């Protein structure tokens, strides 16, 4: 049974919801999962069979606490199954320039932290209009209009593809299971020699 770690950063709460959803799915697939909000604890990735880092894009970057944790633990993250989930509404836009910008934001994160995740997944987030102040609500409404999202500011909107995330969790857990078995066989072989 793989031991997995999810470290996340959130601004309006949706990435935390994604982390909890992934945790439940991974547990259903047989994993033991620890979920930590970046900046609240400092888990050691070496104690886990796989690590998922999730952060949302705001103002052209990800949460600083996530970047600090990844930078401090980059060396320990290498050599184990890992994934970086970039939560952003920009993926709803089919504009090539916006897609390039998202890739650029992720590349800058990798360069600043020193960790290139084995797998990067872009995930559509949410538009929690009812939690925003007037100015932010209008700015986000403008952004949603460009992305083809809802401009109805009287309610919140979720764009996350939960079934796609379920499939991701299944594949990630399977990959960690295989890696765990391989490492156990390798250790067993070393003991026999």
CA distance 3 to 18: 19
pLDDT digits (tens, 9 = 90+) for 157-176: 999 999 999 999 999 998 88
Show Cβ contacts of residue 97 under 8 Å, excluding neighbours closer than 6 positions.
Answer: none
Q: What percent of the chain clears pLDDT 70, i.e. is strictly above it?
A: 92
CA distance 19 to 38: 12
Per-residue pLDDT at 182:
45
CA distance 131 to 192: 60
User: Taking the domains of the chain in order of start, what are their residue ranges?
Assistant: 3-125+160-192
Q: How confident is the model at residue 114 (pLDDT cuts 50, 70, 90)?
A: very high
CATH code that applies to domain 3-125+160-192: 3.40.50.360
Mean pLDDT of 84-107: 87
């Amino acid at each position: 049974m793989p031991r997995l770690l999810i470290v996340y950063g959130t601004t309006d709460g949706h990435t935390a919801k994604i982390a909890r959803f992934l945790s439940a799915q991974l547990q259903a697939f047989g994993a033991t999962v620890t979920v930590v909000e970046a900046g609240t604890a400092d888990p050691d990735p070496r104690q886990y069979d796989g690590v998922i880092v999730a952060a949302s894009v705001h103002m052209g970057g990800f949460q600083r606490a996530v970047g600090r944790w990844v930078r401090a633990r980059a060396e320990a993250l290498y050599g184990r199954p890992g994934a970086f989930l970039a939560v952003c509404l920009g993926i709803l836009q089919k504009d090539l320039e916006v897609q390039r910008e998202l890739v650029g934001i992720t590349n800058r994160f990798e360069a600043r932290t020193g960790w290139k995740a084995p797998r990067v997944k872009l995930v559509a987030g949410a538009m929690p209009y009812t939690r925003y102040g007037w100015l932010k609500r209008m700015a986000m409404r403008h952004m949603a209009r460009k992305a083809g999202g809802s401009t109805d500011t009287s309610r919140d909107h979720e764009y996350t593809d939960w079934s796609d995330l379920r499939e991701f969790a299944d594949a990630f857990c399977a990959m960690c299971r295989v890696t765990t078995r391989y490492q156990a066989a390798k250790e067993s072989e070393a003991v026999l020699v």
